[in-house]
Amino acid sequence: MCGITGFTGKQPALPFLLQGLSKLEYRGYDSAGVTLVNSRKLKTWKAKGRLSELEKLLSRNLTQSCGIGHTRWATHGVPSNMNAHPHMNEEETISVVHNGIVENYASLKEELLAQGYHFQSDTDSEVIVQLLDSYYRRKPVMKDALMRTVKRLEGSYALCVTSIYEPNTIYVAKQESPMVLGRSEEGTFCASDAPALLEYTREILPLQDGQFAILNKDSLEVFDAKGKTVIPQWIHFPYDVQAAQKNGYDSFMMKEIHEQPSVIRETLRGRFHGSRVVLPIIDQLDVDWTTIHQTIFIACGTAYHACVYADILYRRYTGGLSSVIPASEFRYSNPAVDEHTLCVFVSQSGETADTLAALKLAKARGCVTIAVVNVLGSSIARQTDAVLYTAAGPEIAVASTKAYTTQLVLLHVLVLKLAELLQHRVRGITRIIADLKRLPEITEQALETEPEVKKLAHMLKDKNDAYFIGRQLDYPTALEGALKLKEISYVHADAYYAGELKHGPIALIEQDTVVTAIATQPEVCGKTISNIKETVARGANVILITNPDTDAKEFKYVVRIPEVTPELAAIPSAVILQLFAYYGAKEKGCDIDKPRNLAKSVTVE
């Protein structure tokens, strides 16, 4: 996720570019850059860090009236000046900003290196400008060169191109990454999202996948993948800037819940070849897998719950020995680990102090270390032997949602890979991989339960306690459902293994106690349902989250997940519980994005 702005018109471009980038910082903020154009040359400034670092480099009397800007959230190459956008060709005549992932960048780079091109950055995006340059040299018509370039790109992109050859023109292309266009008396605009445009215009045109646009001072042309002109459907944008940053939702948490289908798609991008998992980073590890005797999953909070899920899967898929432990315990537990131990660290921020300390201990003991992290170049990412990135983009709400489901997905892929390396056959692997690929659609369907979940959350209005139960792969979902609810609604919420209820917690159940039971695992579903009946008999209001075909006539409140292989049911179930927590917090009038006493990243012990 990155933010793009572009302007060409009758005014200096810089003020628009910078204010637009500031409105898009929620899309990324590890580095920023702009290119301004005049007829003789392109001038580019870049800075690592937040936009304010870039602003320090720029004088206010830069009057060029055409330019492009970018705020970055790193996916390939750490945050640095070199890796910041815009990227230029060697002669500095063409400049490009890109949002998305070029899956085949390595092979394109090889091809361009063979042609004599040089690369300055570690990004996938730089291949775009070099490829464009190579086509432009062959036939100096920018529209044709751009169309030929994007035909070669596999993956996702929203990109803007400007050059000295047409100093008042910006070329735009889009595939699976957002891009909106705008127009006013002052000129024409483009940006990754409408908030960047709203101070300047409310006349907005969302560009569609496969479309291109050519922006000039007082004209804007849209055309399709074949180069044929498209009649644009302009809309009058209804939201103010704040609402638009949240995509019309009333909180970042709700926006991020709804982003899950697309970030899961991004996280899975390029991870499969047919029915095989592709994780070259893991293949390249210098490890003799026959010497690995145990695997330990280590993290904090929500990421720890993702580890609980991975631990169960690991034992199921590899038949090997594994365990899961919160980082804050691991670091003080004098663990029996050595070079025969694989430690997997999971973190959204990559900066959590306890997880970092646990990682240092594991490294000191000689363990093999792998990280699953969201923030590229973060401390945990830098210090492990191999790192896999979730592609959740910046998560602004304190309560983790999209980071969690992308962790589940990526850990699932990692455990399948480990099973292959440990030479253990996973039963039903074809079905599992087919459903992993369907997860964006499955998550979309889970979001459709929102109206019914909202009604159910009403039962939390006057409640101070809630319980979540599940067995096997439903247990981490129960843990996460309880954490989400307590974090943002301050309802005291506990999670139990469903089979443990009768050993104590059932004493807490009384008339109208809210119990959420997750029962998606065929081998234990009937058992969990028996446990629920025990609570119903004591007056509990039970919400059952289960499969489409579970016989649940006896229960009043049932939410069904979409059809999915049981190993992946935790993903739609988690989405439903995120919605439940959100609407529970709304019932209580809580500040959803900034819950009391909590920080997004816990960098102290």
State which residue, 75 or 347, has the beta carbon closest to ligand M6R.
347
300 binds ligand M6R (CB under 6 A): yes
Find the part of the chain contacting ligand M6R (CB under 6 A) among 6-14, 334-342, 392-400, 413-421: 392-400
Find the part of the chain contacting ligand M6R (CB under 6 A) among 244-252, 282-290, 432-440, 597-605: 597-605
489 binds ligand M6R (CB under 6 A): no
State which residue, 152 or 486, has the beta carbon closest to ligand M6R.
486
Q: What's the CA gap between 239 and 480, in Å, rounded? A: 33
HSE-CB of 385 using CA atoms within 13 angstroms = 19
355 binds ligand M6R (CB under 6 A): yes
Given 217, 454, 527, 600, which residue is catalytic? 600
422 binds ligand M6R (CB under 6 A): no
188 binds ligand M6R (CB under 6 A): no
- Reference 476, options 412, 416, 419; nearest CA is 412
411 binds ligand M6R (CB under 6 A): no
Q: What's the CA gap between 48 and 554, in Å, rounded? A: 59
State which residue, 359 or 432, has the beta carbon closest to ligand M6R.
359
533 catalytic? Reply is: no
Find the part of the chain contacting ligand M6R (CB under 6 A) among 130-138, 260-268, 294-302, 495-503: 294-302
Find the part of the chain contacting ligand M6R (CB under 6 A) among 8-16, 299-307, 515-523, 542-550: 299-307
Least Å from the CB of residue 408 to ligand M6R? 13
State which residue, 399 or 415, has the beta carbon closest to ligand M6R.
399
Enclosing H/E stretch for 431? helix 429-447
**Residues 167 and 66 sit within 8 Å (Cβ to Cβ):** yes
The site for ligand M6R, by CB under 6 A, has a size of 16
347 binds ligand M6R (CB under 6 A): yes
By three-state DSSP, how is residue 164 classified?
Answer: coil
The total of other beta-carbon atoms located within 10 Å of residue 281's CB is 14
301 binds ligand M6R (CB under 6 A): yes
Find the part of the chain contacting ligand M6R (CB under 6 A) among 211-219, 311-319, 396-404, 423-431: 396-404
Could you say which of 303, 313, 391, 392 contacts ligand M6R (CB under 6 A)? 303
Would you state the structure tokens that stand for residue 569, as one six-digit string? 């049911």
Least Å from the CB of residue 373 to ligand M6R? 8
Could you say which of 75, 162, 322, 349 contacts ligand M6R (CB under 6 A)? 349
Could you say which of 225, 506, 536, 602 contacts ligand M6R (CB under 6 A)? 602
The residues near 576 (Cβ < 8 Å, ≥ 6 apart) are 446, 449, 453, 545, 559, 561
- Reference 400, options 238, 260, 242, 567; nearest CA is 260
Strands 272-273 and 557-560: unpaired
Strands 31-37 and 66-72: antiparallel
Least Å from the CB of residue 276 to ligand M6R? 29
Find the part of the chain contacting ligand M6R (CB under 6 A) among 83-91, 122-130, 341-349, 461-469: 341-349
Q: Which residue is nearest to ligand M6R (CB)?
A: 301
**Residues 69 and 97 sit within 8 Å (Cβ to Cβ):** yes
398 binds ligand M6R (CB under 6 A): yes
The total of other beta-carbon atoms located within 10 Å of residue 88's CB is 20
112 binds ligand M6R (CB under 6 A): no
Least Å from the CB of residue 355 to ligand M6R? 5
Q: What's the CA gap between 171 and 98, in Å, rounded? A: 12
578 binds ligand M6R (CB under 6 A): no
502 catalytic? Reply is: no
State which residue, 565 or 601, has the beta carbon closest to ligand M6R.
601
Q: What's the CA gap between 270 and 282, in Å, rounded? A: 14
- Reference 561, options 483, 488, 459, 473; nearest CA is 473
Least Å from the CB of residue 512 to ligand M6R? 27
400 binds ligand M6R (CB under 6 A): yes
State which residue, 17 or 362, has the beta carbon closest to ligand M6R.
362
**Residues 572 and 580 sit within 8 Å (Cβ to Cβ):** no
**Residues 562 and 445 sit within 8 Å (Cβ to Cβ):** yes
Given 2, 66, 160, 307, which residue is catalytic? 2
Least Å from the CB of residue 508 to ligand M6R? 24
State which residue, 420 or 480, has the beta carbon closest to ligand M6R.
480
Would you state the structure tokens that stand for residue 286, as one six-digit string? 């210098």
- Reference 165, options 186, 143, 182, 187; nearest CA is 143
Could you say which of 251, 302, 328, 449 contacts ligand M6R (CB under 6 A)? 302
Starting at the earlier edge strand, list the strands of the sheet with 3-9. 42-48, 31-37, 66-72, 3-9, 187-191, 180-184, 203-206, 235-236
Cis peptide before 476 (omega within 30 of 0): no
The total of other beta-carbon atoms located within 10 Å of residue 118's CB is 9
251 binds ligand M6R (CB under 6 A): no
Angle subtended at Cα 308 by Cα 487 and Cα 581, rounded to the nearest 5 degrees: 25
State which residue, 95 or 374, has the beta carbon closest to ligand M6R.
374
- Reference 569, options 417, 406, 410, 443; nearest CA is 443
Least Å from the CB of residue 311 to ligand M6R? 17
**Torsion-angle region of 589 (φ positive above 0: left; ψ -120 to 50: alpha; else: beta):** left
Could you say which of 142, 159, 368, 399 contacts ligand M6R (CB under 6 A)? 399
The residues near 348 (Cβ < 8 Å, ≥ 6 apart) are 302, 303, 373, 374, 375, 390, 392, 395, 400, 403, 407
Least Å from the CB of residue 461 to ligand M6R? 23
Q: What is the DSSP letter of 34?
A: E
383 binds ligand M6R (CB under 6 A): no
Q: What's the CA gap between 351 and 345, in Å, rounded? A: 11
449 binds ligand M6R (CB under 6 A): no
352 binds ligand M6R (CB under 6 A): yes
Distances (CA, A) of 77 to 27, 183, 389: 17, 34, 12
Find the part of the chain contacting ligand M6R (CB under 6 A) among 110-118, 220-228, 296-304, 541-549: 296-304
Residues making contact with ligand M6R (CB under 6 A): 300-303, 347-349, 352, 355, 398-400, 487, 598, 601-602
- Catalytic (active-site) positions: 2, 600
